[in-house]
Structure 1
């Protein structure tokens, strides 16, 4: 049997096993196992390594809670973590009947107003599942995105995505700098990324600034480049999720009728994440200068891709394989050395569960 085919079948078996787990564990930590398994597979991991890693990681996970719910109006279940199993079962059935493309085209626009769900992990799981061509895991990703749905605007409902949005007025650099103008009386030092994002979304200026980002066909690429540059220079844990989520949204782009609108909703969550990352103005300014300076980008430290892949596969870190996989994919898309530097930073920075 062809080695790559055998390895792909091994990945599919491991992802099948992920159907037994709940989406979160230990009071709000996201299950990273399916994303890590796909990342490691894409980087060249053997089937035995996937099995070994899955067995080790699964010891921390919780069994899926089977709570019967009516999913006839699944939009009404957004934001209810108890609905994860019911939503997953619904998406499995819909994909089987209508096909992956139809389900994605219908669901994605309805999920984008809450794209920060699980610190972007609903979106990220969908990106990995799509690349792995595993419909069960895609159903899980969509279900987690819906169950952990994180609306950050006053009226982020299904109808909102069809309503004309305020005219944007700021380019990415100016918009990013303005993030530091946000002020809120809520607690912004909470341990979970999503809790800090929610707190920052309560800032009085947030609704206006969130939709002020000027978008074009290159905005999502530029967001990914900015996030990669900031991460390469700071190793910031929250910013790492901006890199991997931007990659996931780029991968899902063909299933959006309006990519610019999707990018603007992504920007809403990104603005909250920028503040949740606790970046200083100097870090932001330095990164904005660096990303537009080819010599400065080229000066960022990098390790050979084969070394990064091997190290990520061997690592027990919850994020190493994910950031190396996404950064390599973005590098292959755009040829920008910032993504190579982000992958290198990912192997130098120890992370924590989230």
Structure 2
């Protein structure tokens, strides 16, 4: 593990949750640097090697919030560029049907339609404030919150945060188009009577025990999630979680569950559940006051079951964990920015933000583990 200086723990406050504390250093990149490098990153396609997600724009924003210098962000672009594919150009002439209310839905879920969807979202964001565009489109994207192994949701949240920090809407258009083009659904599970639904601790225990022997050898997380959703195990668990009062409360509970599971397994796929649930927090205020809270929670439970199964989680009853008293966010940030692992950068960023909202030493332990 990377050697870390022992510092007194001081979690970020709500005021600092979007990076002002971390970027209060002499060589931290400016918003203009972030905008320039996000613009460079737009020359790359959303996917490469058939089904791998392009993490560069997400990692750029996360690293920027962690206090990266302009040179560090540029190095991240250069490191990722060698493996990424060129982006197709946005369509400049759109089908007439896209001008109709909800007309864009005819292209949702079609990866080949990414240029059309990119052109559509560029036009939408040029004609209305970003919040208005997000409120109009997020409810139709939420049923696919797990799409592209959660990367549509995650990229959209990072893009929204980048725009709120002062960047243009160019990356937000690409993020929305990515989520829309890679959109897919998970099937509902078996119907469950209210009396048979379980509180989250008991449901999580059943999820861990019942799926312990299930494996899928497909290479991509998103492929394994779809394979899991076709099983009787998924069907029996997907609807068994008793609803919480609100989606926000259920998100908080699930991310704590995912954090504990990561500490007990160090499972790579669970990182996507943590960063995906962070992203949901960022965007959930834009989902609208008329959001059906129970339906949204059902979507989240299905995504959690399929993601867990796709991860092939191997539970350690008594994991060896770093001493949280020897970990501090400044040193964890520095360790994250000293490497090119985009997953580690994003996970440290997510842990830091969540710790700022609900301080818990486990967030620093998870960050240290991923950096190991």
Q: Work out whether the TM-score is over 0.5.
A: yes
The structure with the largest helix share of the pair is: 1
* 1:252 Cα deviation from its structure 2 partner: 0.8
User: In structure 1, what is the equivalent of residue 210 of structure 2?
Assistant: 181
Conserved? CA contact 1:183–1:203, under 8 Å: no
Please state if 1:152 is matched with 2:152: no
Q: Distance in 2 between matches of 1:267 and 1:192?
A: 21
Offset from partner CA, 1:114-153 (integer Å, 9 cap, x none) = 1111110000001111111142212212111111112111
Conserved? CA contact 1:247–1:330, under 8 Å: yes
Conserved? CA contact 2:188–2:302, under 8 Å: no
301, 322, 336: which is aligned to 2:360? 336
Please state if 1:305 is matched with 2:336: no
310, 320, 335: which is aligned to 1:276? 310
Structure with greater contact order relative to length (CA < 8 Å, sep ≥ 6)? 2
3, 14, 19: which is aligned to 2:37? 14
Deviates more, 1:313-322 or 1:241-250: 313-322
User: In structure 2, what is the equivalent of residue 81 of structure 1?
Assistant: 111
Please state if 1:47 is matched with 2:70: yes
User: Any gaps of 5 or more consecutive residues in structure 2?
Assistant: 1-23
Offset from partner CA, 1:322-353 (integer Å, 9 cap, x none) = 000010000001112222211111111xxxxx
Q: How many residues align?
A: 327
User: In structure 1, what is the equivalent of residue 17 of structure 2?
Assistant: none
User: In structure 1, what is the equivalent of residue 238 of structure 2?
Assistant: 210
* 1:6 Cα deviation from its structure 2 partner: 6.0
Please state if 1:191 is matched with 2:219: yes
Conserved? CA contact 1:184–1:203, under 8 Å: no
User: Any gaps of 5 or more consecutive residues in structure 1?
Assistant: 156-164, 291-295, 349-354
117, 130, 134: which is aligned to 2:147? 117
Offset from partner CA, 1:77-114 (integer Å, 9 cap, x none) = 22211112221221121122122112211211111211
Question: What is the Cα-based RMSD across aligned positions, in Å?
Answer: 2.9
Q: Distance in 1 between matches of 2:110 and 2:224?
A: 19
Conserved? CA contact 2:225–2:307, under 8 Å: yes
1:256–1:304 CA distance, 2 compared to 1 (3 A): same
Conserved? CA contact 2:336–2:344, under 8 Å: yes
* 1:76 Cα deviation from its structure 2 partner: 1.9
Please state if 1:62 is matched with 2:85: yes
Conserved? CA contact 1:238–1:277, under 8 Å: yes
1:320–1:205 CA distance, 2 compared to 1 (3 A): closer
Conserved? CA contact 2:79–2:340, under 8 Å: no
Offset from partner CA, 1:29-87 (integer Å, 9 cap, x none) = 11000011111110000112111221221121111124756361221222211112221
118, 121, 142: which is aligned to 2:176? 142
TM-score of the aligned structures, taking structure 1 as reference length: 0.83
Q: Name the SS of the counterpart of 1:119 in structure 2.
A: coil
Conserved? CA contact 1:231–1:342, under 8 Å: yes
Q: Distance in 2 between matches of 1:198 and 1:176?
A: 20
Deviates more, 1:217-226 or 1:7-16: 217-226
